[in-house]
């Protein structure tokens, strides 16, 4: 194992759940530690990805309690950066009223949370980009937030399909080139791509 790989492992090994918040106002400033948030359609693999990044199977509960999925959950990594789990969107089982409340919570977070430095939008590679994802890119564009895309669950697809999704995603991102940064791939199952995401998060923690 390279030294870089070892120190990254060490960095992410020190992780803990800080809290669950139902409004942006109630989130403390945490001494202005920078935050990177994760968002995507429900079932996209967000919890599994956060667990894979931190190598902690229990951190973001994959078997989620309803209360926790409707709030902003924050995890600290080595006092260097906070990872923020935002409520998923496009969840058919929650009422329109609740969907609107969740959407307000997320938009308030983008608009008012000054600790936020980068957004990771997760897309299930097999499902592809849907209208609700495009709405999310537009929101991020409006709030002038830098974002990256993570195509998740790549263990489910052949390489040729991954290549097709790569081309179409990058083509769409030409419309967002002021704020789009990187395209990542991940499998929480095989851990493919996790190292690249960890490297990026670590670099973001140093930048800020």
Query: Measured from the CB atom, is 43 or 175 closer to ligand GDP?
Result: 43
Site residues for ligand GDP per CB under 6 A: 40, 42-48, 62, 88, 152-153, 155-156, 187-189
Minimum distance from CB of 178 to ligand GDP (Å)? 27
Minimum distance from CB of 31 to ligand GDP (Å)? 28
Query: Measured from the CB atom, is 49 or 204 closer to ligand GDP?
Result: 49
Query: Measured from the CB atom, is 33 or 157 closer to ligand GDP?
Result: 157
Q: Which residues of 174-191 are buried (b: 16+ CB within 10 A; e: fewer)?
A: eebeebbbeebbbbbeee
Query: Measured from the CB atom, is 40 or 205 closer to ligand GDP?
Result: 40
CA dihedral 7, 13, 19, 20 (to 10 degrees): 100
Q: How many whole angstroms separate alpha carbon 190 and alpha carbon 188?
A: 6
Cα 49 to its chain centre, rounded Å, is 8
Q: How many whole angstroms separate alpha carbon 124 and alpha carbon 100?
A: 23
Q: How many whole angstroms separate alpha carbon 82 and alpha carbon 30?
A: 9
Minimum distance from CB of 20 to ligand GDP (Å)? 14
Query: Measured from the CB atom, is 47 or 205 closer to ligand GDP?
Result: 47
Both tokens assigned to 204: 């973001």
């Amino acid at each position: 194992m390279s030294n870089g790989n070892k120190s990254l492992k060490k960095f992410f090994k020190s992780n803990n759940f800080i809290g669950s918040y139902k409004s942006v106002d109630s989130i403390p400033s945490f001494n202005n530690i920078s935050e990177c948030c994760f968002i995507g359609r429900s079932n996209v693999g967000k919890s599994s990805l956060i667990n894979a990044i931190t190598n902690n199977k229990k951190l973001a509960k994959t078997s989620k309690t309803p209360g926790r999925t409707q709030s902003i959950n924050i995890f600290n990594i080595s006092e260097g950066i906070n990872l923020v789990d935002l409520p998923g969107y496009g969840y058919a089982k929650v009422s329109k009223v609740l969907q609107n409340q969740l959407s307000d919570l997320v938009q308030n977070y983008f608009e008012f949370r000054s600790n936020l430095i980068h957004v990771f939008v997760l897309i299930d590679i097999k499902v592809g980009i849907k209208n609700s994802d495009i709405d999310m890119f537009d929101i991020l564009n409006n709030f002038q937030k830098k974002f990256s895309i993570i195509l998740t669950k790549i263990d489910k697809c052949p390489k040729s399909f991954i290549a097709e999704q790569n081309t179409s995603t990058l083509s769409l991102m030409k419309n967002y080139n002021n704020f789009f940064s990187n395209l990542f791939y991940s499998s929480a199952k095989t851990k493919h791509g996790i190292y690249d995401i960890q490297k990026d998060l670590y670099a973001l923690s140093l930048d800020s």
